[in-house]
Each structure stands twice: as structure tokens, then as C-alpha cells.
Chain A
């Protein structure tokens, strides 16, 4: 596709429900990032993949958060037993193989509201 595609765009989850957010990166991009952006804040790093390898997951806030990219293209961010503080926009981004110095392209985000 032309850009990074994320789905769903909007998700309302009841507290305790599990959610899965999908990211389709730009074709051919091997590096993929997930960010969390709370209302009125800057994006916060969650995790980074190079192909199917998850090289950095230091930003995942708890073990309820899990990300995967099994075939090195589409990625899924899963949040188990959602809590109200998980309400945020979840942004996916991709870039060509060499990350440093390359433009990182962001999707429109998945807006999660936990009620």
C-alpha cells in the first residue's frame, strides 16, 4: 500500500477485555515501531521489530502488552485485560532496512478507549 495502514481506527473496549491492533507497514519496510500516545502528550516508544525479530521491547508498560510480527510484515499489538489507563492512540511506524537517518513513516493510529 501507499502508506502505513492501521486497524481498527477506533476501538471501545470494556475494562478487562482483550484487544488486538493491527499494523500493515509500507511494502518492503523491514523496521517497524509501535508507539503509545496519551491525549495531549507526545508519542512514547513501545517496541521495535526488524523483520520478525523483536529487538527492543523496553517500552511495553506491562506484561499485559504483547507485540508480534511473525512473518516480518504485518504486526499485531495485543493488550490483555485492558485498563482505563490503556486509553490512548497506538501508532505504528515503518522505515526501510537502515533505520538511522531514514524517514520513519507513521500510520493514522488506532484510538483505544477503555470504559
Chain B
């Protein structure tokens, strides 16, 4: 069963714009991770944010975590065509990752 819900399910923007994806979850967590998946490929780890952190940056990625609202957001700034992919949030409790349904991001040139 899926832990989280991602919003929106699909997002289409112009190259150079910023893309924001949201994730909500239900149970307490140790950390939350974001992954990218290109069509037909495996999952690529993007960023991990621990439950005691509120914000984290990695290059053009910015992740926020609000444990009181059980939600996280992923911001991709200055989007590029190569950012076209599905993005998944995954929460980790003791061991396993529990994934959301994903957001399908399309960057239009």
C-alpha cells in the first residue's frame, strides 16, 4: 500500500520555469527521500531530508519538510528538458521505503 499522495499527478511547464511537486504522508518517519525515474529506467536518488530538518538544497533542487503537516515539497528551479521524468517521494520509518504514486513532469522546450 502506498504511504503518500503526490500532487499534482502530472505537471507540464516551459523550460526555464520552476516546478513544484508536493507529497503528503500518513505515519511518523525517520526521513523522506525524493527519487527521479526516467521512462523505462530505474530510480535515481535525488535528495534525503531527515525528520529533524526543515529544508535542504542540492543544486537546482530544494526540498522542504513539514512534519506537523506530514508534507514535503520538491522545487526544481530553472527547469531543463532533461528534467522530464517521474518524481517520487518515499518515506522511511525503520527500514523500507514507502513510495507515493509520483508526479509526471514534462518540460516543454
Contact = CB atoms under 8 A, between A and B. Distances in A.
Interface of A: 4, 31, 33, 35, 41-45, 48, 55-56, 59, 91, 93, 99-101, 103-109
B84 interface: no
Interface residues of B, number: 24
13 contacts: A33-B97, A42-B88, A42-B102, A44-B1, A45-B96, A48-B95, A55-B95, A56-B96, A91-B42, A93-B97, A99-B92, A105-B45, A106-B43
B48 A44 contact: no
A4 B43 CA distance: 11
Given A31-B95, A108-B41, A42 B100 contact: yes
A43 B97 CA distance: 9
Counting from the closest, the 6 A-B pairs by CB-CB distance are: A42-B99, A106-B43, A108-B42, A106-B42, A99-B95, A45-B96
Contact of A42 (B44, B45, B101): B101
B31 interface: yes
B82 interface: no
Interface in B34-58: 35, 41-45, 48, 50
